[in-house]
């Protein structure tokens, strides 16, 4: 999924995936570094004994993110 997201790096503001095993995070972070993700965020989630996390990443700089929003999102009247 990370490899595919790089192909669409300028078409999408953020990419995300649900990761259930903590042990998979190290490999995910390495791949994101290899493909030069600009920002990476990990959001922990949990219910009862089950814990998982969402890993989100973007290839756009803060300035590119701002321009992306301005060209695609309409501001309310």
- Over residues 11-66, the pLDDT tens digits come to 999 999 999 999 999 999 999 999 999 999 999 998 888 899 999 999 999 999 99
Considering the segment(s) 2-72 as one domain, its CATH architecture is 2-Layer Sandwich (3.30)
Look up the pTM and report it. 0.86
Please give the Cα distance from 12 to 9 (Å, whole number): 6
Phi, psi (degrees; rounded to nearest 5) at 23: -65, -20
Angle (CA) 69 7 27, round 5°: 100
Beta strands in 1-77 (DSSP E): 15-19, 39-47, 50-58
């Amino acid at each position: 999924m990370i490899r595919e997201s790089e192909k669409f790096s300028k078409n999408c503001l953020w990419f995300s995936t649900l990761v259930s095993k903590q042990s998979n995070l190290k490999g995910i972070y390495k791949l994101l570094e290899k493909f030069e993700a600009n920002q990476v965020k990990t959001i922990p989630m949990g219910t009862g004994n089950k814990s998982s996390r969402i890993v989100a990443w973007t290839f756009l700089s803060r300035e590119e993110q701002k321009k992306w929003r301005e060209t695609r999102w309409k501001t309310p009247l």
